[in-house]
């Protein structure tokens, strides 16, 4: 088990371009979460998946943002027509939830992708 | 909506001493989990400790312990025998029983003085 991985670690793009980030969760985890963290703030929840189903989307997730988890394993987060306000660290986390007693739902985080929009 | 408040933007402690970080939260749910995460500079978020709301016993992990006061909606973190490696941003986080997205506080920057 190598933990949650994210690629790329850094992305610099020009305003108006599209970007895509990838997250690989811990292998046995069925839930995958995306967060955004701006400088000096705590992470803010964007969306999450249970297996391949996207169960919740925050109001922070504008129409320019789309996330997928097609086979219930890795996930991608795409931002279309990037704006300078999209500059942030994008964090991915995963957890194991089986719905029974003792399900801890502890989320383990990846190293993040830092996006800079020029 | 749930909210998490960390009222101490920055705390400083001498190496080997004890420090307590404060966190309060607001929720109408009865089933939830609380967490403390540590985020060292330019490094990833690491779980420090977890507390289930239905458990009355306070969680402990080595030098880290919590004081969970459910009625007061308070969840403080005590770090004993502070070490230089404890220097980081510490975030308090809440998630409801449905285990949706975490709600984080704004964080407390912990400085360890040698």
Mapped onto helix, strand or coil, the DSSP state of residue A84 is helix
Give the per-residue pLDDT at A72: 85
Nearest to A67 by CA among A85, A87, A50, A83: A50
- Give how far Cα A27 sits from Cα of A10, A24, A71, A105, A107, Å: 23, 8, 12, 15, 13
Chain B residues with a Cβ under 8 Å from any Cβ in chain A: 4, 33, 35, 37, 43-47, 50, 52, 91, 93, 95, 99-107
- CB pairs A-B closer than 8 Å: 62
Residues A30-89: tens digit of each pLDDT: 999 999 999 889 999 999 999 999 998 888 888 999 999 998 899 999 999 999 999 999
Length of chain B: 114
Band the pLDDT of A105: cuts 50, 70, 90: confident
Closest alpha carbon within chain B to A5: B44
- Percentage of chain B modeled with pLDDT above 90: 84
Confidence of residue A100 (pLDDT cuts 50, 70, 90): low
Q: What is the pLDDT of residues B9-40, one digit of tens each?
A: 999 999 999 999 999 999 998 889 999 999 99
């Amino acid at each position: 088990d190598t933990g949650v991985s994210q690629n790329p670690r850094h992305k610099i793009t020009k305003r108006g371009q599209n970007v895509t980030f990838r997250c690989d969760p811990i292998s046995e985890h069925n839930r995958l979460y995306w967060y955004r963290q701006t400088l000096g703030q705590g992470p803010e929840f964007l969306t999450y998946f249970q297996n391949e189903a996207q169960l919740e989307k925050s109001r922070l997730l504008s129409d320019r943002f789309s996330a997928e988890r097609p086979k219930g394993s890795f996930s991608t987060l795409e931002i279309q027509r990037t704006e300078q306000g999209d500059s942030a660290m994008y964090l991915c986390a995963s957890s194991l939830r089986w719905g029974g007693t003792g399900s801890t739902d502890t989320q383990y985080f990846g190293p993040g992708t830092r996006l800079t929009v020029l | 909506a749930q909210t998490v408040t960390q009222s101490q933007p920055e705390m400083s402690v001498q190496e080997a001493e004890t420090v307590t970080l404060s966190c309060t939260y607001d929720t109408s749910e009865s089933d939830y989990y609380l967490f403390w995460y540590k985020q060292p500079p330019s490094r990833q978020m690491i779980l420090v400790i977890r507390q289930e709301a239905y458990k009355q016993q306070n969680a402990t992990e080595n030098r880290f312990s919590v004081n969970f006061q459910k009625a007061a909606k308070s969840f403080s973190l005590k770090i004993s025998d502070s070490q230089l490696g404890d220097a980081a941003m510490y975030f308090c986080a809440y998630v409801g029983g449905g285990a949706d997205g975490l709600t984080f506080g704004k964080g407390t920057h912990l400085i360890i003085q040698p």
